[in-house]
């Protein structure tokens, strides 16, 4: 039997920096009995919940991680033991966070839950490099996408039809995307901005173009986000 009033919160931790979590998210985190957190959640973020038991359920593209079904089972087991359970996810839970699978598991087990949104990395990255994702007269649509797939699925090679393209979990996948875009007729000089470890102390960024991206990127040591489109072209300041 789960405790009376047991509650699960799916909380977005934001892109990395501890002070980019929402006020509501930080408040609930400080009250949690247990926190199941992703690999992208920083130690500074976990300092916000010193009272809680902390369980790593690391999910990193290309690295060994807990199977999603096992995470679902852990989440249910914690809800049956504790009154306030937090599932802490990098970015926003509802974007590339496998939230649907965890919500289905909670609903099947008749466990109450709430979702606390977080700042997704695309918005934090745009702010960090001071390049709006939309610009009047240049870009009025944005596509957030990833080439990562579930086990057994074929990679989706379609290029979204939008003015600004933002590819999560970049690296080699972004190189292949750039190659497909060039074959599809996108201009080689299309501006590209690469962000690694967005909002963290070791954040790095570089400006290049589609042709350069198609030739590959240096090995990264953290999450990579790739932003492509005319909105990424440097501004000409009028004096």
The secondary structure of 45-90 as a DSSP string is HHTT-TTSEEEE----TTS----HHHHHHHHHHHHTT-SEEEEEES
pLDDT band at 63 (very low <50, low <70, confident <90, very high): very low
**DSSP letter assigned to residue 15:** S
Indicate whether this model's pTM tops 0.85: yes
Residues 101, 160 within the same domain: no
Is residue 143 in a domain? yes
Residues 196, 152 within the same domain: yes
Query: Domain range holding 23?
Result: 7-116
Mean per-residue pLDDT of the chain = 91
Q: What are phi and psi of 133, to 5 degrees?
A: -75, -20
Statement: residue 205 has pLDDT above 50: yes
Q: What local confidence, expressed as pLDDT, does residue 218 receive?
A: 74
Token code pair at residue 150: 């579930």
Sheet holding 142-145, edge to edge: 142-145, 164-167, 224-228, 191-196, 204-209
Is residue 239 in a domain? no
Residues 69, 149 within the same domain: no
Residues 104, 127 within the same domain: no
Contacts of 1 (CB under 8 A, 6+ apart): 80
Please say which residue of 116, 137, 157 terminates a domain: 116
Is residue 227 in a domain? yes
Token code pair at residue 233: 């072209």
CATH code for the domain of 138 = 3.30.950.10
17-51 burial: b if 16+ Cβ within 10 Å, else e: bbebbbeebbebbeebbbbbbbebbbeebbebbee
Distance between CA atoms of residues 121 and 96, nearest Å: 11
Is residue 58 in a domain? yes
Q: What is the pLDDT of residues 27-52, one digit of tens each?
A: 999 999 999 999 989 999 999 999 99
Residue 238's alpha-carbon distances to 121, 194, 235, in angstroms, are 30, 26, 9
Is residue 132 in a domain? yes
Q: Which long-range contacts (CB under 8 A, 24 or more apart) does 145-148 make?
A: 146/96, 146/173, 147/173, 147/176, 147/177, 148/61, 148/96, 148/173
CATH code for the domain of 11 = 3.40.1010.10
Q: What local confidence, expressed as pLDDT, does residue 235 receive?
A: 85
Q: Parallel, antiparallel, or unpaired for β 53-56 and 34-37?
A: parallel
Residues 188, 85 within the same domain: no
For the chain, list the strands marked E by DSSP. Answer: 7-12, 34-37, 53-56, 84-89, 113-116, 142-145, 164-167, 191-196, 204-209, 224-228
Residues 106, 183 within the same domain: no
Catalytic residues: 38, 59
Please say which residue of 72, 97, 116 terminates a domain: 116
Is residue 61 in a domain? yes
Count of alpha carbons within 13 angstroms of residue 32, beta-carbon side: 30
Q: What is the pLDDT of residues 211-239, one digit of tens each?
A: 999 999 876 778 999 999 999 999 876 66
CB 91 within 8 A of CB 15: yes
Which residue shows structure tokens 């090995």? Answer: 219
Residues 73, 132 within the same domain: no
- How many domains, in total, are found in the chain? 2
């Amino acid at each position: 039997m789960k405790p009376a009033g047991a509650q699960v919160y799916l909380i977005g931790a934001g892109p990395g920096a501890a002070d980019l979590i929402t006020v509501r998210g930080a408040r609930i985190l400080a009250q949690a009995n247990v926190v199941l957190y992703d690999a992208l959640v920083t130690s500074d973020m976990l300092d916000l919940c010193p009272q809680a038991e902390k369980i790593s359920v690391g999910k990193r593209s290309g690295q060994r991680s807990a199977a999603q079904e096992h995470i679902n089972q852990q989440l249910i087991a914690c809800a049956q033991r504790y009154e306030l359970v937090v599932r802490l996810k990098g970015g926003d839970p509802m974007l590339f966070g496998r939230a649907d699978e965890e919500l289905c598991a909670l609903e099947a087990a008749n466990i109450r839950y709430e979702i606390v949104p977080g700042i997704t990395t695309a918005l934090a990255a745009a702010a960090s490099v001071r390049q709006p994702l939309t610009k009047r007269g240049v870009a009025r649509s944005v596509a957030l996408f990833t080439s990562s797939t579930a086990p057994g699925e074929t990679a989706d090679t379609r290029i979204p039809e939008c003015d600004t393209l933002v590819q999560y979990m970049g690296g080699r996948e972004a190189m292949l995307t750039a190659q497909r875009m060039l074959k599809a007729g996108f201009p080689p000089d299309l501006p590209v901005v690469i962000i690694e470890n967005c909002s963290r102390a070791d954040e790095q960024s570089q400006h290049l173009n589609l042709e350069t991206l198609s030739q590959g990127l240096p090995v990264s040591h953290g999450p990579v986000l790739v932003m492509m489109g005319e909105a990424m072209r440097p501004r000409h300041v009028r004096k």
